[in-house]
Structures are given as structure tokens and as C-alpha cells.
Amino acid sequence: MPSLRDYAEKESLLLPGHRLCAGCGAPIAIKQILLASDKPVIATTATGCVEVATTIYPYTSWNIPWIHSAFENAAATASGIEAAIKALKRKGSFKTDVNIIAIAGDGGTYDIGFQALSGALERGHDFVYVLYDNEAYMNTGIQRSGGTPKASWTTTTPAGSVIPGKLENKKPISQIVVAHKIPYVATATPAHPLDLMSKAKKAFDVDGPAFLHVLSPCPRGWRYSPEKTIEIARLAVKTCLFPLWEAVDGKYKLSPPSKLYVRKPEKKIPLEEYLMRQGRYRHLFYPEKRVDIIEELQKSLDENWNELLELCNEKQ
């Protein structure tokens, strides 16, 4: 596997000068993913934080061919690119091997874009779909999405004396994608670069659709100081709230051991350590600690972790 030095010496395909917030996890992750490609890349990006902040007319931060898709159709656009290239290759007018990547946030994946994504996966188009998951519609004002965790504050799930933030659980999008029986699905974070780039390389190399679910901490929406992004992402993994795993042809396995994340449940950091560092969960600690909700969230996490261990044939 290439080292961090090897990747650092490659040309970046997402250039400086974009207007994404300080501390945003998305550009860190996208830079890492693009570095993993050993072929030219064509990208399409759904409307969202990354799209609006990297392409303020007449400027662009994309150092590759790039297409703006609407909120709902990044996967459909990627499908069209792949089909067009196949047709041109049959005619002999296009001979370059390229990697195709679709990039969308949680709003454009869990919700608005799910129909296009599911259809593209079912048809078996050969491209990599990247979900940068900041867990709300951050671009339009921090509204809740299907990817917003239970009990977290958003502008449409305000926390008060009656309702303690969002009432519904986060949709298990990665498992839903695995159920489509595609070649490759993986979770990753920008805080674990070699893990992310290794998985991105596998995703680019498979024949057929691949899906990368990347946790993308958001200082603005999650309410933490921008320099804490990597710390927050690592905590999400160390608590097993966002475990690192991959599914190859439907077979689950945990990511290789590392000092930066855990494999066994007895080593989990309590979820409370993650929650208390984010203002979107402040209502669980002030003016009084909501032990009942915190314990409920921990119980749900433990159940999900144990289910994952079973899927990975790991001992609990």
C-alpha cells in the first residue's frame, strides 16, 4: 500500500481557494479520495455545500473535468457519463480509461437523491459514489435529513422541554446500499487517511458500482470549534458510533486494526464523550443532564455495534 508520503507527492485534484468553512471535513476527504485514483477522473457533484463552495462562477477548485448535478441526480449523471464513454469506446473515438465519481451530501443521498442512487446501483453502472455525511442539510440552513442522528439539534428539530431534538433514528444508508448486492461498500473518515485512500483505491478498481460512506464533521452545524474536526471524527470511530468496515460482494469485514480505532466492544469509549463535545447535543447536558436519553442512545449504539460484529463474523 502506498505511504502518506507517496500520496503527498501526487498532484491534488481539488485545489485551494474554495469557500468551504474552516474545519469542514468534506474537502479533506475528497482530496484524499481523488489522490487514490491512478487514472484520470471525471466527477459530478450534487447541489450542496461542496458544489456551491468549489464553483463560485467564474472560478472553480476542480482540477479535473467536473459536472454540476441537481440535488437529486448525481448518480444519474454519473450513469450517463459511464454509458456515454462506453458508447464512444465502441466507436473507437474514446480510448482513455477513466474513473468516474459522483459526490453528494446526506441530503442528496439519504433523501432527495436516493431514487437515482438506487436505480444506478441496480443497473450496475461502473462508478464510485461518495457520500460526505455531515448529517443535515447544512448548505441551506442546518435542516434535518434522513442522516441526522436521533436527539441532535437542527433548525427543523429544535431542542426544547417537550422535544429533545430529532425524534427519529439515522437511516442505515450503507447497509441499504449493501442490500443492492454491489461489489464494494465501505465506511471511512478524513481522520483516517490511509484507511480512506486504501478503500477509495479498491472502490475505483472494482468492476461495477462502489459506495464510500464518509463521515464529514461540520463545525457550523455540529457546533464545535473548527480545529476539532479530526478529533471529532476519531471519537465517532472510537465510540463505535461510526465503525470502519467494508463489504466486498456483500461480505462484511472490519477495517484492519489500528491505534486510531477499535475492533472490540469492550474497548469502546462511552458515547457521552462524543456527544458532550458538540453544541448540537448541548440540550442533553444543560440545564440538566438527560441521562435517560444518553443511555438510550448508548444502548442503540451497542446494539448496532453487536449486529455489525455478527455480520463481520467477529467475536463479541
List of domains in the chain:
4-311 (3.40.50.970)
The answer, yes or no, to whether residue 30 has pLDDT greater than 70, is yes
The pLDDT assigned to 264 comes to 55
* Confidence at 162, pLDDT banded by 50, 70, 90: confident
pLDDT digits (tens, 9 = 90+) for 60-82: 999 999 999 999 999 999 999 99
CA 3 to mean position of chain CA atoms: 23
Q: Which of 33, 55, 38 is nearest to 102 (CA)?
A: 33
pLDDT digits (tens, 9 = 90+) for 200-247: 999 999 999 999 999 999 999 999 999 999 999 999 999 999 999 999
- pTM for the model: 0.96
Among 12-21, 100-109, 158-167, 264-273, the range scoring the smallest mean pLDDT is 264-273
What order of strands is seen across the sheet that includes strand 99-105? 66-69, 41-46, 99-105, 128-133, 210-215, 184-188, 245-248, 251-254
**Single-letter amino acid, residue 85:** I
The answer, yes or no, to whether residue 263 has pLDDT greater than 70, is no
Q: 208-243 burial by CB neighbour count: b if 16+ within 10 A, else e?
A: ebbbbbbbbbbbbbbbbeeebbbebbbbbbbbbbbb
The answer, yes or no, to whether residue 49 has pLDDT greater than 70, is yes
Look over the chain and give the mean of its residue pLDDT values, rounded to a whole number. 95
| Residue in the block written with cell 429533545 | 164
